[in-house]
Amino acid sequence: MTTRLKTWVFSQTCEIGSRSRASLALRAAMAMSASSSSTSSNLFCTKPTPKSLFLLPRNPNLRFRAAPFLPCIRALITPSAPSILGVETTEEKSKNEDCGFLHFAKYHGLGNDFIMVDNRDSMEPMVTPEQAVKLCDRNFGVGADGVIFVMPGVDGTDYSMRIFNSDGSEPEMCGNGIRCFARFIAELKNLQGSQSFTIHTGAGLIVPRVEDDAKVTVDMGQPVLRALAVPTKIPANKDDAVIGAELLVEGKTWNVTCVSMGNPHCVTFGAKQCNALQVDDLKLQDIGPKFEHHEMFPSRTNTEFVEVISRSHLKMRVWERGAGATLACGTGACAIVVASVLEGRSERKCAVDLPGGLLEIEWREDDNHVYMTGPAELVFYGSVPL
């Protein structure tokens, strides 16, 4: 290969502070490549490389691995490597934009994965919904559940967040996405210790806090229960809310509770007059779309199928509006705890077991806010042609 860009993706196989991961991976890549004199001239630009980029920390616990050739993902291994972190100079940024490449970071929250884009210099997303669909394709693109843009704040907030789902639709908010958003900001700004941010979203103001243990706690605000505001056309059966109401789906009557966490959720603990739901036995690909596109949900809906393990432990599978079956859904985890409390099935603080891992959810009685705590992890940095 003789091009300036080589296709390398480096994954880190041990636990280190995420704020140094990109620079460490970059230095490792360059040091590895530089060790082969026969190929180094093809790997890098001709202008001198700072010696500091070759200085690797002497940490025996660190190990990096080069992934196989991936034709659609190009990690930028050049002396202008800080541009991968979104801190490129104006000249570098202009060059890169002229080349038609989108620089991104891929993060995941319990397997719910996102392409994170540093869009802080514009209120217009760098990619279109159609391009987002291609980027999210797991066979011909980067692969993700959505593309998230870090944008300038409005109305006094620190930042704004917009999301394109893998089908090109735009949701109001995403719980796992907001945790990834917070970690990405901390990485971009090289922030240390516990940090909070105010984020403007389609669901209103959200305040995530990056903890010292690398988890992120998010004040998700108050749940909305009024049927028309969720929105749902299911007739309200308790104080303008839909709680344990009946919904006919594909010839079967399900008991559902409808909650908005800034986006609509339909929560069910099972069908009427059936045994307790065993979520692992669900044919989610069959039943999920029937709920999402049901006529009773004018804006479509996210659907959570819940199994009660104990009064402090819930297990769920989710069919997300615009994304389908995913490994985790943060707003969905919040919604099921609210629904479970309203139906008398659990306490206000629960561990929620999702296919991708555990989230801690608490619906506090003192302020009526729902708080979510969980991980958000960097997968890799890269660059992709648009």
Domains of the chain: 10-221+377-385 (3.10.310.10), 227-368 (3.10.310.10)
Looking at residue 96, its pLDDT comes to: 52
**174 part of the active site:** yes
Locate 309 and state its tokens. 């393990």
- Identify the DSSP state of 99: T
- Identify the DSSP state of 214: S
What is the Cα–Cα distance from 110 to 3, expressed in whole angstroms?
36
Helix or strand holding residue 269 (H, E):
strand 264-271
pLDDT in tens, the chain (386 residues): 433 333 333 333 333 344 444 444 434 433 333 333 333 333 223 233 332 222 333 333 333 333 333 333 334 333 333 333 444 444 555 555 556 899 999 999 999 999 999 999 999 999 999 999 999 999 999 999 999 999 999 999 999 999 999 999 999 999 999 999 999 999 999 998 899 999 999 999 999 999 988 899 999 999 999 999 999 999 999 999 999 999 999 999 999 999 999 999 999 999 987 888 999 999 999 999 999 999 999 999 999 999 999 999 999 999 999 999 999 999 999 999 999 999 999 999 999 999 999 999 999 999 999 999 999 999 999 999 98
Choose, from 136, 174, 180, 258, the residue flagged as catalytic. 174
Name beta bridge partners: 352: 314, 359
Cβ neighbours, 10 Å, residue 264 = 26
Is the pTM value of this prediction over 0.85?
A: no
Which residue, 208, 213, 149, 202, is CA-closest to 178?
A: 208
Which residue bears the tokens 């979510």? 372
**Contact status, residue 115 vs residue 142, Cβ threshold 8 Å:** yes
Choose, from 136, 258, 266, 329, the residue flagged as catalytic. 329
What is the Cα–Cα distance from 153 to 301, expressed in whole angstroms?
28
